Homo-oligomer: A and B are copies of this chain.
Amino acid sequence: MAVSLQDYHDIQLLVETYARLLDADRLEDWLMLFDEHCHYEIMSRENVAQNLPLSLMLCDNKDMLMDRVMSLREANIYNIHFDRHVLSFLHMEAAGNGQYEAGLSYALFQSNQEGETRLFSVGRYEMRLIRKDDAWRFTRVRVVVDTGAILTLLATPI
């Protein structure tokens, strides 16, 4: 079933907001884009291909995701870099019950305080979206990373 122009546009804007808030280090606002019942996960492409359940980051409810953000704020050493997401075209499919599945590829660059930039990660988002109270929210975000060398201990969301 074809996705309407308006739904495609609205969800594109939600995904844009997702990346913009992360890049601006507005993690608490980024949290608000998730539904109360949500699942956030970072997995390597290799583990997905081999059907291994191992995650680089896993928060299977919103409280866990909030805790993650809080601990990043307290650790306070994570923000020695600045993120910059560059997003590729959005794919969308109706998933029943008014929900959508969406996917898109990304490149994530990180710059340090000396203004040196490196390619940090490329991969793909797999998202599920629900509409509540007139706004689209994420119920599920799975980031499948092609790039393996991610420090998991203090990893920031992608």
Binding site for B on A (CB under 8 A): 5-6, 8-9, 12-13, 15-17, 19-20, 23, 44-46, 82, 84-91, 103, 105-107, 109, 111, 113-119, 121-124, 145-149
Select which of B20, B111, B119 is within 8 A of A117 by beta carbon: B119
Shortest distance in angstroms between A18's beta carbon and chain B's nearest beta carbon? 10
A112 CB, min distance to chain B CBs, angstroms: 9
Q: Do the beta carbons of B116 and A111 come within 8 Å of each other?
A: no
Q: A147's contact among B15, B89, B116, B145, by CB below 8 Å, is which?
A: B116
> In the complex, which residue of chain B has the Cβ closest to the Cβ of A103?
B20
Closest residue of B by beta carbon distance from A110: B146
Q: 19 A-B Cβ contacts within 8 A?
A: A13-B91, A15-B89, A19-B88, A19-B105, A45-B111, A45-B115, A46-B115, A84-B122, A84-B146, A85-B88, A85-B105, A87-B89, A107-B109, A109-B119, A111-B122, A111-B148, A115-B149, A117-B121, A119-B119
